[in-house]
Amino acid sequence: MPIGTVSSPEVNRDLRRIKHEIASAEFEPIFLSPEIHELEVIRTAEAARKTDPDLLLLVPLHGGSAQQQVLAAETCKTFTVIWSLPRRFSMPSGAIAYGALVERGTIVKYVYGNPGLQVIAKLEDYARVAYAINRLRTSRIGVIGRVLPNMVASEYDVNVIRSNLGPHVTTVEIADLQDTLRKVREGDLDRAISGLDNFRLKASAPRIRDAMRVHLAVKKITEERKLDAMAMECWTEILRLFQVTPCMGYVEDAYAIGCEGDVVGAALLLMIEYLTDKPAVMLDVFSLTGSILKMSGMCSAPASISKVSDVTICEMAIPPMFNIKQRVVAVRPAIKWKTVTLLRISGKNVNKLHLVHGRILGVDREHYVEIKIKLTGKVDHFIENLHGHLYAVVPGDISDRVKLFCEWAGLRLVET
């Protein structure tokens, strides 16, 4: 939303260039008409609010517009960014509005410069974080079973998750899963299995069929109940009842999977998806030798992180502690990442986020999804903040967006 009057060819050129640069960004802009009169500013901002925007971008075209910028932000009532240009007193006007909004408690950021890649990159970060926070507020996570009994650091309160992270958590009864399983059509099952032809299939056809049937049933429930993720107690309840784990869900990104009933982990995976538009891998911290962290323990990972031809669908033995001899199906993509970010949300108020930097040294898919990571921060600091075993592993360095997410969402960030 430009704030000001289009009083010269120079202003027109700026507006055209701004629109051109924004049109190529990774967000979907809605261009509003330039306004300076207070009544029109209010009307335009109210109209913008009805579109439920993730972010309001204000561009002061000239000086003398600070009051109108504040008015627009307080009317639209969403995350706000002020972008000042290096001419026509746009900078002091934007700075005045920015200072006023900060003092009034508005979540607002300020950028300065000509239209170009540097400014657009910042706007993309701000828009993506605003989208992630807003999208989490409308997300729904289903739960089948409960958190594994020994995972006491992953216990949660659905009301706290709703209040502090955003997602609504709802229970899916085992009986509902059983009923949906019975309704899976053989033709749908055949078509889903035929879609696996380009994967490396090392599991037996009967085992793949059993696992795919559970995935299709879970997928059907997520579609009917409009769920974005499903946390499932895989090692105990589901495994004992159906002799499979729900790992076949990793062959597609139809819903995020909270392993071992980890609801907070499922919310974290959604957060990462909304921030990066990509899935992450959830793994156990397993051991630490010097600064080399071994992560393991998980059966599967999302197939979409790898080329289809580099994904293996195999069988694996159940850990001896569960006293089950049946083998289950696992999805094992190749992991060719180098720099990675590790993330975990913890605390009884789910208000602490541990951010870890590292570099992958090696990957082993023989028995589990297993990686070795060179931690680039202080190891002692990492250990002091290790408040649980499950961490999401994300390709690249996404710390800028994560830090902004924590700032805007009110999470306490610990970076190691």
How many angstroms from the chain centroid is the CA of residue 235? Answer: 25
Split at pLDDT 50, 70, 90, the class of 327 is: confident
Kindly state whether residues 105 and 144 are assigned to the same domain: no
* Boundary residue ending a domain (94, 113, 137): 137
At position 288, the amino acid (one-letter code) is: L
Mean residue pLDDT of the chain comes to 93
For the chain, report the end-to-end CA distance as a whole number of angstroms.
39
pLDDT of 385 > 90? The answer is yes
b/e 122-150 (16+ beta carbons within 10 angstroms → b): bbebbbbbbbbbbbbeebbbbbbbbbbee
Tokens of 299: 């059966």
Closest by CA position to 56, among listed 121, 3, 13 = 3
Give the pLDDT confidence of 70-113 residue by residue, as tens digits.
999 999 999 999 999 999 999 999 999 999 999 999 999 999 99
| Partners of 109 in the β-ladder | 81
Q: Which residue has the higher pLDDT, 325 or 23?
A: 23
**Which pLDDT belongs to residue 237?**
74
Three-class SS state of 136: helix
What range defines the domain where residue 151 resides?
140-415
Kindly state whether residues 115 and 149 are assigned to the same domain: no
CA distance 10 to 344: 49
CA separation (Å) from 313 to 147, 361, 392? 26, 24, 21
Return the DSSP state at 35.
B
Kindly state whether residues 33 and 152 are assigned to the same domain: no
Kindly state whether residues 145 and 107 are assigned to the same domain: no
**Which pLDDT belongs to residue 357?**
97
Kindly state whether residues 68 and 172 are assigned to the same domain: no
pLDDT of 325 > 80? The answer is no
pLDDT of 299 > 90? The answer is no
Q: Which of 6-20, 77-91, 318-332 has the lowest mean pLDDT?
A: 318-332
CA distance 175 to 168: 21
**Which pLDDT belongs to residue 246?**
87
CA atoms within 13 A of residue 209's CA, in its CB half-sphere: 9
Kindly state whether residues 110 and 156 are assigned to the same domain: no
Q: Where are the alpha helices (DSSP H) in 260-389?
A: 263-276, 379-384
pLDDT of 243 > 90? The answer is no
CA distance 370 to 374: 14
DSSP 227-241: -SEEEE-IIIIIHHH
Tokens of 228: 């974005």
Give the pLDDT confidence of 219-242 residue by residue, as tens digits.
999 999 999 999 998 776 788 788
pLDDT of 150 > 80? The answer is no
**Which pLDDT belongs to residue 195?**
94
Q: Which of 32-36, 160-164, 316-320, 390-394 has the lowest mean pLDDT?
A: 316-320
CA distance 328 to 280: 22
| Average pLDDT, integer, range 161-178 | 95
* Boundary residue ending a domain (137, 168, 200): 137
Split at pLDDT 50, 70, 90, the class of 143 is: very high
Kindly state whether residues 180 and 132 are assigned to the same domain: no
**Which pLDDT belongs to residue 7?**
86
pTM: 0.94
**Which pLDDT belongs to residue 259?**
85
For helices 38-50 and 66-76, angle between their N-to-C axes, nearest 10 degrees: 30
pLDDT of 204 > 90? The answer is yes
**Number of domains present in the structure of the chain:** 2
Kindly state whether residues 247 and 380 are assigned to the same domain: yes
* Boundary residue ending a domain (137, 166, 193): 137
Kindly state whether residues 384 and 314 are assigned to the same domain: yes
For helices 117-137 and 399-409, angle between their N-to-C axes, nearest 10 degrees: 50
CA distance 108 to 136: 19
| Average pLDDT, integer, range 362-370 | 88
How open is the CA angle 396-292-406, to the nearest 5 degrees? Answer: 40
DSSP 55-81: EEEEEE-SSS-HHHHHHHHHHH-SEEE
The percentage of the chain sitting over the pLDDT mark of 90, rounded to a whole number, equals 84
CA separation (Å) from 37 to 50, 57, 68, 71, 258? 20, 18, 8, 11, 51
**Which pLDDT belongs to residue 373?**
98
For helices 117-137 and 263-276, angle between their N-to-C axes, nearest 10 degrees: 150
Return phi, psi of residue 107, to 5°.
-80, 110
CA distance 93 to 97: 6
How open is the CA angle 341-55-7, to the nearest 5 degrees? Answer: 130
Kindly state whether residues 307 and 352 are assigned to the same domain: yes
CA distance 110 to 99: 10
Q: Give 294's contacts (C-beta < 8 A, 6+ positions apart).
A: 286, 287, 288, 370, 371, 372, 373
Radius of gyration of the chain (CA): 24
Kindly state whether residues 101 and 23 are assigned to the same domain: yes
Kindly state whether residues 132 and 273 are assigned to the same domain: no
Are the C-beta atoms of residues 147 and 233 closer than 8 Å to each other? yes
Return phi, psi of residue 45, to 5°.
-65, -40
**Which pLDDT belongs to residue 148?**
73
Q: Which residue has the higher pLDDT, 348 or 68?
A: 68
Question: What is the domain-level CATH number for residue 39?
Answer: 3.40.50.10940
pLDDT of 285 > 90? The answer is yes
| Average pLDDT, integer, range 397-403 | 97
